[in-house]
């Protein structure tokens, strides 16, 4: 690939972001499709200034990750209806200076899950109450899944459970909760803390479906334990690619 005066710039914006596979993924796609474009990783502490940078430099598009998926929203010109309902944006498209926000987390997770399970009628424990939990929670509700939010902090967990209209379970009481499906949406287990698992091992029962949205490592400690205990496991890599 030759970078020249016409090369379009894309990137992922987050903090931390150095573990991100998105640059490798997108640059491989650009090269396979012959697009004159590059995709970089931008680690920042200031999302507002970053959005100004997207406008000023004519950056064509950006992926938005931890911790900016919600805080980026006020700085955009338009939010896609699904992203608005979810309350989080993970993709910005720059359409001739007009910045529109989308959420592809929910659809990526849905496709990864549907490749492995029939969702309608299942019960699901979602671990975490951040932007990803919110996106997946809304999507699962639409698929007729009975969702419960499990979170470390009561305040955030109860707030998300209330907006989804579903039960809240404190993380330290998860042993009393039931779910055929478990979706892990926190950063626990992500590199470099790869020995951490956010839930006690004994809740992982044979036949359960366990998905982790962490994709680095591709098989987290949670998925490792789940596999050993006879669960069906779904890696964050599947969601990322979808």
196 is catalytic: no
Q: Does 137 bind ligand ATR (CB under 6 A)?
A: no
| Beta carbons within 10 angstroms of residue 6's beta carbon | 8
CA max distance for the chain = 60
Name which position in 130, 137, 189, 217 contacts ligand ATR (CB under 6 A): 130
Rounded distance between C-alpha atoms, residue 89 and residue 166, angstroms: 22
Name which position in 101, 108, 128, 236 contacts ligand ATR (CB under 6 A): 128
Are the C-beta atoms of residues 182 and 10 closer than 8 Å to each other? no
What's the min distance (Å) between Cβ of 145 and ligand ATR? 18
Within 14-73, the residues that bind ligand ATR by CB under 6 A are 66-67, 69
Q: Of 183 and 231, which CB lies nearer to ligand ATR in the complex structure? A: 183
Name which position in 63, 185, 220, 235 contacts ligand ATR (CB under 6 A): 185
Binding mask 142-171 for ligand ATR (x = CB under 6 A): ---------xxx--x--------------x
DSSP string, 138-158: HHHHHTT-EEEEEESSHHHHH
Q: From its phi and psi, is residue 51 left (phi > 0), alpha (psi between -120 and 50) or beta?
A: alpha
Piece of the chain touching ligand ATR by CB under 6 A; list 24-32, 53-61, 179-187, 199-207 = 179-187
The C-alpha angle 199, 200, 205, rounded to 5 degrees, equals 100
The CA-based dihedral angle spanning residues 200, 205, 208, 210, taken in that order and rounded to the nearest 10 degrees: 20
What residues are labeled active site?
69
Residues that bind ligand ATR (CB under 6 A): 66-67, 69, 128-133, 151-153, 156, 171, 185-188, 198
């Amino acid at each position: 690939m030759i970078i020249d005066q016409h090369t379009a710039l894309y990137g992922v914006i987050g903090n931390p972001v150095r573990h991100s596979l998105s640059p490798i993924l997108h640059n491989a796609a650009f090269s396979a499709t012959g697009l004159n474009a590059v995709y970089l990783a931008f680690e920042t502490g200031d999302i507002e200034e970053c959005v100004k940078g997207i406008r000023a430099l004519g950056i064509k598009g950006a992926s938005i990750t931890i911790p900016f998926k919600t805080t980026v929203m006020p700085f955009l010109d338009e939010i896609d209806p699904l992203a608005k309902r979810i309350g989080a944006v993970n993709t910005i498209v720059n359409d001739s200076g007009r910045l529109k926000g989308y959420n592809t987390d929910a659809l990526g997770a849905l496709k990864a899950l549907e490749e492995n399970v029939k969702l309608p009628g299942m019960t699901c424990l979602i671990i975490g109450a951040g932007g990803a939990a919110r996106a997946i929670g809304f999507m699962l509700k639409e698929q007729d899944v009975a969702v419960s939010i499990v979170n470390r902090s009561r305040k955030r967990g109860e707030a998300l459970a209330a907006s989804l209209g579903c039960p809240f379970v404190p993380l330290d009481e998860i042993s009393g909760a039931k779910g055929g499906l478990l979706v892990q949406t926190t950063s626990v287990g992500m590199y470099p803390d790869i020995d951490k698992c956010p839930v006690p091992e004994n809740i992982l029962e044979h036949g359960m479906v366990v998905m982790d949205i962490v994709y680095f490592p591709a098989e987290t400690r949670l998925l490792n334990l789940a596999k050993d205990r006879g669960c069906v496991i779904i890696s964050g890599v599947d969601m990322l690619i979808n």
